[in-house]
Amino acid sequence: MRRSYSLAVFVMAALVSSTVGGQDSAGVRKRIAQTVSSIRLIDTHEHFWTEAERNAKQMNLFQLLHYVSSDMWADGLDRTGSEKVFNDPSVPLEQKWEMFNRHWPTMRNTAYSRALLRAAKDLYGVEDISAESYHALSEKIQAANRPGWYAEVLRKRAGIDISICDIGQAGAKLDPAMFRAVIRLDEFTLPADIIPVVEKRDKVTITSLADWEAALDQAFVRAKEAGFVAIKSGLAYNRSLNYRDVNQTEAEACFKSLVARRGTISRDEWRRESLPLQDYMFGRIAANCAKYNLPLQIHTGLFYDTWRDVTQSNPSLLTPLIIRNPKTRFVLMHGGYPYGTELLAMAKNLPNVVLDMCWVYVISPSYAYRFINEAIETVPADKLLGFGGDYQVPEGAYGHAVMCRETVSRVLADKVIEGYWTEEEAVKYARLILRENAIRVFGLPLS
């Protein structure tokens, strides 16, 4: 009796937990996952080697590590020495494996490693990365290293229509059927070495700040002509994102003093003493983005390498600059990891801010989950870009895309099951963040 009573309670409880407003929660998860997996992604951020560059390399497992290397550096691996070993084709695979395997057991848990494992399994049919498999896996990677592999991995397997690449001027020559590109103009904030280059390229003489600003203007004209879809700034790697409001007189004095002493002061002195000029010129870049109708992508949050101070890239530091440039469209990258809630507060408050989750799912899927969960509740749906691989190799973008679709499906379904919104609203949101918002923000000729 007692037994059948507890069985009845168990069955009742199971029924209650698997139905939401009369719906079956497993069914909700399944249908949402199916829809999310069918959405053709717009991938907002990559650093892919061009396919020709990739095809020219002798490929193996150790050429695919990318962010896994960052975790190895954080785990104590010497960066310079290991890069020599991993990138030198004359070093035997066994020696590379020996170096790699000193860290692999303690870093295979990270999401960077999970993305690599997923790519190895799905794209090369190798279940685990181990002493038994690294040789065969490396052979398979090299066997696939031929023209057409990018289309196979990105278009067919990852379901990506367009990847927006940050690879410098080479980006202008990418195949428009699969790629678009952004360009960096950060050099204009730190003109120490670049003035002679610009003088030669533009056939101009630069003696004043006005000349320098005119050269920046020219760079924008050329960026438009070349078809770049945004300006990217990675300056967070060099300095704080706190760009002060510096007037032209102060910037001019700084420019003159630095140019007069060019060649006589160290890079560090340049960096320190040029701060007013950097602040001023970044303000000019932001203003020009409005003038030339290009979004400004800014790196915020985590750094990919070691010995960094993440507080200098807290996105909140950008708020005064963003308020001073209301007509500029700011795309704040990487979910501001770990400053997600601050970033969401900015997007909720500032009409000219769009958030980009490029890189985020391989930093931490659970952070990505929390970020989207909170974004749904706080930020209009057209202000979130939900996927960017941020890899050098398409295998990385593939692993990342899988993790993205899984996380997005889970959070959207959970919100349906909680009763926050309907299934229809959830899938509409998925289409916006994974595709339609990026098409609009970067002006892509797609529907």
Binding residues (CB under 5 A) for Zn ion: these are 390
Name the residue number minimizing CB distance to Zn ion.
390
Quick one: 390 or 423, whose CB is closer to Zn ion?
Answer: 390
**Would you say 51 or 390 has its CB closer to Zn ion?**
390
3-state secondary structure 45-95: EECCCCHHHHHCCCCCHHHCCCHHHHHHHHCCCCHHHHHHHHHCCCCCHHH
Nearer Cβ to Zn ion, position 259 or 310?
Answer: 310
For residue 47, the minimal CB distance to Zn ion (Å) is: 6
Q: How far is the CB of 390 from Zn ion (least distance, A)?
A: 4
For the CB of residue 413, give the shortest distance to Zn ion in the complex, in Å: 29
Smaller CB distance to Zn ion: residue 182 or 246? 182
Q: Which two tokens stand for residue 295?
A: 């979004």
Cβ distance to Zn ion smaller for residue 390 or 406: 390
Task: Indicate the residue among 246 and 332 with the shorter CB distance to Zn ion.
Answer: 332
Dihedral sign (CA 323, 329, 330, 334): positive
Q: How far is the CB of 424 from Zn ion (least distance, A)?
A: 34
Give least dist CB 45 to Zn ion, A. 5
Sheet with strand 41-46: strands edge to edge? 41-46, 160-165, 179-181
> Cβ closer to Zn ion: 280 or 339?
339
Q: How far is the CB of 301 from Zn ion (least distance, A)?
A: 11
CB-count burial class (<10 Å; 0-12, 13-18, 19+) for 301: buried
Report the distance separating Cα 447 and Cα 440, nearest Å. Answer: 9
Per the CB < 8 A criterion, the answer to whether 341 and 266 are in contact is: no
* Residue (53 or 78) nearer to Zn ion, CB: 53
**What minimum distance in Å lies between the beta carbon of 239 and Zn ion?**
17
Shortest CB 363 distance to Zn ion, Å: 12
Give 43 or 390: the residue with its C-beta nearer to Zn ion: 390
**Minimum CB distance to Zn ion smaller for 365 or for 389:** 389
CA nearest neighbour of 299 among 206, 347, 231, 367: 231
CB of 232 to Zn ion, least distance (A): 8
Kindly state the smallest distance separating residue 163's Cβ from Zn ion, in Å: 12
Taking the C-alpha atoms of residue 394 and residue 196, their distance in angstroms, rounded to an integer, is: 36
Residue 9, judged by CB atoms within 10 A of its CB (0-12, 13-18, 19+), counts as: exposed
